[in-house]
Amino acid sequence: MASTFFRTIQTHPFLLLHPTAVFRRKNGVLRCTMRSTQTQTPTQEKQQSPQIKFSPQNPNKTFYEIPKGYEAIIGIETHVQLSTLTKAFCGCPCNYGSQPNTSICPVCMGLPGALPVLNSKVIEFAVKLGLALNCKLSLNSKFDRKQYFYPDLPKGYQISQFDMPIATGGYIDLDLPVEFGGGHRRFGITRVHMEEDAGKLLHSENGDYSQEITSPTLQYVFCSFMLIFRGSMVDLNRAGVPLLEIVSEPDMRNGMEAAEYAAELQRLVRYLGVSNGNMQEGSLRCDVNVSIRPVEQEKFGTKVEIKNLNSFSAVNRAIDFEISRQVLLHSQGQGDQIVQETRLWEEGSQETFTMRKKEGLADYRYFPEPDLPEVILTKEYVNSIRNTLPELPEMKRRRYEKMDLSMQDVLYLANDINVADYFDATIARGADAKLVANWIMGDIAAYMKNEKLSINDVKLKPDELAKLIASIKSGTISGKIGKEILFELLAKGGTVKGLIDEKDLVQAIDPVEIGKMVDKVLSDNLKQLEQYRGGKTKLQGFFTGQVMKISKGKASPGLLNKILLEKLNAKN
């Protein structure tokens, strides 16, 4: 089918945005890398475009190889902000982007006498994610207080889970992108626990926020509750928003694997509907721990933590940078300069910098939260949640794989649950899986990209896509015409049948009629006919074009070629 082979080329609007795009074939798989220093932008991520593998990034970084003789050990702590309507322990709405300190109450402000009451949705979401990560759920768990002082922490402690997390001992399955060599990986999950988010410190650029406070007594007035310290204001809208912290086993070995782990986690939370998973907004935050060791060494090297990773490519590049930094130090005999510390990733300079050194372990003086009863789950409850789980990305990929789709197709389709649902709905109407995949990944993806739409926004619904494909397959319309009306359907909606009727697009499949057209073209172009018959067979395309032109594109290409060849060669 034409659309199969031209798929990548038909995405030209997308390519034009990145004129330096290079395509090359390796092992029969088309790989796409971009020579562009452009980093992933927020809008790209918000569109839920396929992560990492299509993101423009430096291929040299992508294919970073750890120097021989060394191994990197990477573990990730991920905080996922849950998309519950209200906060974890009070009734305040979880509002993004609202004015500072407008979504607050005595509980999340930590006012004296206020008490937390657990939002049951948090448990539900934690159980969902725990099950999806193949964890063992603790039927008895509890909350603890993690204590430290910081202005964004209104109570002086964070309600978290310490020694009895809600879920432990799971794993996550994922497929590495084909352009990075492909392969399946299983990374261990140490634990999943529930906790609350802290507020945010807002630093004013000119002067300070204290101008907004006209009198010290205003500090006690509820609606204008502001927290000030030297020109910084504390915004408590985020304080008390529920989080799940997911701690991985130290199973990743390079930046790409770590980024893929994070991407799969994002996919999972989006599939489950427990979080929007946006890294730019901070709904999904990754702190990674990196250490290196000589391969023959059993003991782990000194662990360095990296924060401020706002995209998957940042995760990837920060880790690879950190590995190379540590390997360099180690190979120069300066291994003792690798110290336990927290480093920040700087997007601008593409480097990590020391944020703070850790002198011994911080003592958070955890103890059981006395304001909250234990969390008791019944087996029935867990099972009822299990029964509502959607088909998860890994299951989808395995199913798609059995449809003889390429891994590239499988990864693309399963990346976004909405795309996967669209795909599933289309094939459920009898359309061929490979054809549907091609349409979605080709013209439809290009259209969405151009128009900055998600698949749920396009007007062409799976039902009509299935009909469009069927119309081409049955020969009612040509593939070329199909492509033309596709864009109309995407933009304006309507039915395939309606458009075909309206524009009189039914393919000419009457051999007599096509024969007449061929005859006319041949007799109008005797000079070219002579040249053709003189051996210039390349002119076949010219004749095809001419016939197409007078048929207004409706001539069935297969039939046309057959008849044309017959007639061209007849008098030879």
Partner 1 sequence: MLSAMQHPLLFSRFPRHISSSFAKSRPLHILSSAQPTAGLSVADQSPPSNSQILSIRHSLLSGHFTATQLAESYLNRLKLTEPQLNSFLHISNNVLKEAQEIDDKIKKKEEVGPLAGVLVGVKDNICTADMPSTGGSRILEGYRPPFDATAVKRVKELGGIVVGKTNLDEFGMGSTTEASAFKVTANPWDLSRVAGGSSGGSAAAVSARQCVVSLGSDTGGSVRQPASFCDVVGLKPTYGRVSRFGLMAYASSLDASGCFGSSVTDAGILLHAISGHDRFDATSSKQEVPDYASQFISATFLKSRPLEGLRVGLIRETIDEGVDSGVKSVIHGAASHLEQLGCMVTEVSLPSFSLGLPAYYILASSESSSNLSRYDGVRYGNQVSADELNSLYEDSRAKGFGPEVKMRILMGTYALSAGYYDAYYKRAQQVRTLIWESFKAALDENDILISPAAPSAAYKIGMMLTSSVIFFFFLLSLSFL
Residue 198 in the binding site for partner 1 (CB under 8 A) = no
> Should residue 211 be labelled a site residue for partner 1 when binding is judged by CB under 8 A?
no
β-pairing, 341-346 vs 304-309, is parallel
Q: Which of 155, 285, 325, 554 binds partner 1 (CB under 8 A)?
A: 155
Task: Say if CB 120 and CB 236 are below 8 A apart.
Answer: no
Which is closer to Zn ion, CB of 238 or CB of 483? 238
> Which residues inside 368-427 make contact with partner 1, applying CB under 8 A?
370-373
Angle at 567 between CA 564 and CA 569, to 5 degrees: 105
By CB under 8 A, name the one of 227, 259, 338, 427 that touches partner 1.
Answer: 227
* Contacted entry of Zn ion, partner 1, none for residue 92, CB cut-off 5 to 8 Å set by kind: Zn ion
108 binds, among partner 1, Zn ion, none (CB under 5 to 8 A by kind): Zn ion
28 binds, among partner 1, Zn ion, none (CB under 5 to 8 A by kind): none
Beta carbon of residue 373, minimum distance to partner 1 (angstroms, whole number): 6
If one asks whether residue 118 binds Zn ion (CB under 5 A), the answer comes out as no
User: Using CA atoms, how far apart are residues 270 and 275, in angstroms rounded to an integer?
Assistant: 6
Judged by beta carbon, residue 159 or residue 176, the one nearer partner 1 is 159
In angstroms, give the least distance from the CB of 374 to partner 1: 11
Taking CB under 8 A as the criterion, the residue among 24, 67, 204, 229 binding partner 1 is 229
Containing 227, the helix (H) or strand (E) segment is strand 227-229
Pairing relationship of beta strands 341-346 and 144-147 according to DSSP bridges: unpaired
If binding means CB under 5 A, how many residues of this protein chain bind Zn ion? Answer: 5
At residue 423's C-alpha, the angle toward residues 19 and 479, to 5°, is: 65
Tokens of 315: 């995760």
Given 151, 182, 188, 390, the residue binding partner 1 (CB under 8 A): 151
Q: Do the strands 70-81 and 242-248 form a parallel or antiparallel pair, or are they unpaired?
A: antiparallel
Q: Please state the closest distance from residue 194 (CB atom) to Zn ion, in A.
A: 17
Considering only residues 45-104, where is the footprint of Zn ion by CB under 5 A?
90, 92
- The β-bridge partners of 357 are 341
- Phi then psi for 484, rounded to 5 degrees? -65, -45
**For residue 105, how many other CB atoms are within 10 A of its CB?**
15
Residue 295 Cβ vs Zn ion, minimum distance, rounded to whole Å: 51
Q: Which is nearest to 533 in space by CA: 563, 568, 561, 565? A: 568
x/- site string to partner 1, residues 72 to 111, per CB under 8 A?
A: ----------------------------------x---xx
In 82-215, beta strands by DSSP E: 136-137, 140-141, 144-147, 157-160, 167-175, 184-196, 200-203
Phi, psi of 487 (to 5 degrees): -65, -30
> Under the criterion CB under 8 A, does residue 231 sit at the interface with partner 1?
no
- 């053709």: which residue's tokens? 532
394 Cβ partners below 8 Å, 6+ apart? 173, 174
Binding partner of 85, given partner 1, Zn ion, none, CB within 5-8 angstroms per partner class: none
Q: Distance (Å, rounded) from C-alpha 551 to C-alpha 564?
A: 14
Nearer to partner 1, 25 or 230 (CB): 230
If binding is defined by CB under 8 A, does position 340 make contact with partner 1? Answer: no
Q: Does 220 bind partner 1 (CB under 8 A)?
A: yes
Contact 311, 45 (CB under 8 A): yes
In the complex, the smallest distance separating the C-beta of residue 201 from Zn ion, rounded to whole angstroms, is 19
Dmax over Cα atoms in the chain, in whole Å?
Answer: 103
- Cβ pair 215, 152 in contact under 8 A: no
Q: Looking at 129-137, 149-157, 308-316, 548-556, which segment touches partner 1 (CB under 8 A)? A: 149-157
Cβ proximity to partner 1: between 16 and 149 the closer is 149
Q: Do 521 and 550 contact (CB within 8 A), yes or no? A: yes
Taking CB under 8 A as the criterion, the residue among 54, 157, 312, 345 binding partner 1 is 157
Task: Write each residue from 110 to 139 as x if it is in contact with partner 1 (CB under 8 A), else as -, in one continuous string.
Answer: xxxxxxxxx---------------------
Interacting residues toward partner 1 by CB under 8 A: 106, 110-118, 145, 147, 149, 151, 154-157, 216-217, 219-222, 225, 227-230, 234, 361, 363, 365-367, 370-373
Interacting residues toward Zn ion by CB under 5 A: 90, 92, 105, 107-108
